[in-house]
Chains A and B, each alone.
Chain A
């Protein structure tokens, strides 16, 4: 079945550092890909998405490009802030059904 593999954490960075979280997927067809963020004590909220190959999703300085050839959707941010401290989840929605599959999540801590 469809699945998502995400870089394990935790990740600790200094403010203004560059952040990359790797995400690769296994799926048939052309799934939709998402990054969700979870702040402490809250539910998940959408950070960005891409629905077809070569699409780039972006939001709040974060970016991710849907790479069909490498089945990847890596999350990047050029200069992180303390407020970016959260758990980040890569997710996939299958092209043939509406199941949502999530990666294990990556905890990111940004220190001032």
Chain B
């Protein structure tokens, strides 16, 4: 049971660089989410998707982009990385209305 898989686990970026955080789930879940976790700030929703081809902004979408071409994959793209994007990023998926979300192990990103 792989569940939700995130790659990479760690990454250091220079200011202005771009990268894609990968997220894949093998549970055939329709709903997927990207969060960032800053110390003492809880989880902030960046983007979410209710199915392939459908995405929507969360609380803090600026500086990020997503796509959902398949049910399994939900990559998060950072363009022109900034120090404010230093954080731990979590991907999650959800099967349905009365079910819980499953989380990946997280990606720790540092922008210097």
Contact A32 B40 (CB under 8 A): no
What bracket does the count of chain A residues touching chain B fall in? 20 to 34
Taking CB atoms, residues of chain A closer than 8 Å to B103 are 36, 43-45
Known: A34-B100, A43-B90, A49-B100. A98 touches B105 (CB 8 A): no
How many residues on chain B are close to A (CB under 8 Å)?
Answer: 23
B31: Cβ under 8 A from any A Cβ = yes
* Residue among A45, A46, A91, A99 with most chain B CB within 10 A: A99
Segment from A11-19, A65-73, A76-84, A101-109 that makes contact with B? A101-109
Taking CB atoms, residues of chain A closer than 8 Å to B41 are 104
How far, in angstroms, from A98 to B33 measured CA to CA in the complex?
10
* Distance between B23 CB and nearest chain A CB, rounded to angstroms: 12
Contact A102 B43 (CB under 8 A): yes
CB-nearest residue of chain A to B50? A98
Known: A42-B105, A89-B43. A98 touches B58 (CB 8 A): no
CB-nearest residue of chain A to B44? A102
Q: Label chain B's interface by main secondary structure.
A: strand
Partner of A102, one of B40, B42, B98, B100: B42
How far, in angstroms, from A43 to B42 measured CA to CA in the complex?
13
A51: Cβ under 8 A from any B Cβ = yes
Contact B106 A104 (CB under 8 A): no
Partner of A99, one of B40, B58, B98: B58
Partner of A32, one of B33, B43, B97, B105: B97
Known: A51-B98, A98-B50, A99-B58. A44 touches B42 (CB 8 A): no
Q: Which residues of B contact A (CB under 8 A)?
A: 4, 31, 33, 35, 40-43, 45, 48, 50, 58, 90, 92, 94, 97-98, 100-101, 103-106
Q: Which residues of A contact B (CB under 8 A)?
A: 6, 32, 34, 36, 42-46, 49, 51, 89, 91, 93, 98-105
